[in-house]
Amino acid sequence: MTTHIALCAIPGYGHVQPILDVVGELTARGNRVTVASTDQFGAPLEAAGAEVIRYGATREGATDANSIADALAGFSSCADPIAPIRAKLLDDKPDVLGFDSTMWLAGRLLSAPLARPTLQLSPCFVSNEHFSLPERVGEYAAREAALESTVDSGGPAEEPIDIVAEVKALLKAEGITTGLEEFVSDARDRKLVFIPREFQYAGDTFDDRHAFVGPCLGPRRLAGQWSPPDNGHPVLLVSLGTSTFNDQPGFFRSCARAFAGLPWNLVLTLGGGTDPATLGPLPPNVQAHQWLPHPAVLDHARAFVTSAGMGSIMESLSRDTPVVGVPHHGEQEVNTDRILELGLGGKIARQDVTAESVRDTVLAVAEDTAIADRVHTMSEHFARAGGHRQAADEILNMA
């Protein structure tokens, strides 16, 4: 019997890429998959076999990301981008409803009239009474705010948002009579976590509702080839991902200077954020690309300098490559802390990035045999977690 699975995705590479091979595995087994996303990710999701419900801006001046950001924060306008998704799913009810863990409010609104098993898709650390990702991120945010408070912005202070009041108003507007505590509770959700249990903070304290399937690196995520120069020198990959802070030509120039003249092959991937022309002439052992298939490069790399998004970390460790984190916001700081705690790489604070700090940190990490051994052990945990096939099993067992 065909099972119909509906998934709701945040419009970001780190949230869509983990589910591409899960969608492909489900459809290859003869099931139907409907995914709510934006035009930006419609094509790869359709190529994986999904029917895509496209949502977009629904209020003046809003972008897709801003509309969904409202849904995450708890604003009443979160119902706007949900309307076409809900109409479609009510007309063609799924057997299982999954939604990105960061869009919990949108997921609650969608699931209320469907009465179907619900699944949270978590491409990042999950939380329980022993570890809280929001609290850890909040600690970094508080430090940043304290630093920024020493500088007079010249503008009026922003009023704090009463999230509880916003959610209550939303429930009333939507005609949902469920009490607030029950509505926001995730106790009934199954959780599909795209990291292995061994990498999760306090991993052994999470119950059986949490399926730690690891990164889902199947034929779609592993598509594409890359070959290193034939000089036999080690490879270093450097990327700041695809987020808004990757427009940093100075960072990439520092990395290029770090390895100029050294017997290394340096590969820079710019993620669409930095114009290669702004980098100036590069040393002969440095190549810059807007996009490359990272797993194909990491198969040859001795280290990966990254802004420490979870997707990049998972790709690196799964390919047996240590990580040097250069975090740019709270969640990336938490990710990098875990890399250091487990002895899987190093860190460079973004304010400390120089050619010297990049070179010294990378060489120390790449030459550390104990780090290499721990990374290899972690990659074995990744393989045993099951990836996209295990993820498909978990979803189908809910139907």
- What's the confidence (pLDDT) of residue 149? 61
Classify strands 323-325 and 345-347 as parallel, antiparallel or unpaired. Answer: parallel
307 — pLDDT class (breaks 50, 70, 90): very high
Q: SS3 for 329?
A: coil
Helix intervals (H) in 157-209: 163-174, 180-184
- What's the confidence (pLDDT) of residue 151? 55
pLDDT at 5 > cutoff 50 = yes
152 — pLDDT class (breaks 50, 70, 90): low
Residues paired with residue 99 on neighbouring β-strands, in sequence order: 8, 120
- What's the confidence (pLDDT) of residue 60? 35
- What's the confidence (pLDDT) of residue 147? 67
pLDDT at 76 > cutoff 50 = no
Mean pLDDT value across residues 259-284: 94
CA dihedral sign, ordered 54, 65, 17, 8: negative
pLDDT at 303 > cutoff 50 = yes
154 — pLDDT class (breaks 50, 70, 90): low
Cβ atoms 283, 261 nearer than 8 A: yes
Mean pLDDT value across residues 262-284: 93
Q: How far apart are CA 273 and CA 55, in angstroms?
A: 24
- What's the confidence (pLDDT) of residue 160? 55
- What's the confidence (pLDDT) of residue 177? 83
- What's the confidence (pLDDT) of residue 330? 94
263 — pLDDT class (breaks 50, 70, 90): very high
For residues 39 and 94, which has the higher predicted lDDT (pLDDT)? 94
pLDDT at 32 > cutoff 70 = yes
Strands, E assignment, the chain: 4-8, 32-37, 51-54, 96-100, 118-122, 190-193, 210-212, 235-239, 265-269, 286-289, 301-306, 323-325, 345-347
Domains of the chain: 4-219+385-396 (3.40.50.2000), 235-384 (3.40.50.2000)
Tokens of 139: 């600690």
70 — pLDDT class (breaks 50, 70, 90): very low
62 — pLDDT class (breaks 50, 70, 90): very low
Tokens of 166: 């916003």
For every residue of 6-67, DSSP letters joined together read EEE--SSHHHHHHHHHHHHHHHHTT-EEEEEE-HHHHHHHHHTT-EEEE----STT--HHHH
∠ CA 150-152-158, nearest 5°, is 100
Residue partners of 258: CB distance under 8 A and separation at least 6? 355, 356, 358, 359, 362
- What's the confidence (pLDDT) of residue 162? 67
Q: How far apart are CA 137 and CA 342, in angstroms?
A: 19
Question: pLDDT > 90: what percent of the chain?
Answer: 69
CA distances from 108 to 72, 98, 125, 132, 171 (A): 11, 10, 20, 21, 10
pTM of the shown model: 0.90
Q: How far apart are CA 91 and CA 226, in angstroms?
A: 45
- What's the confidence (pLDDT) of residue 67? 42
Q: What is the mean pLDDT of the chain?
A: 89
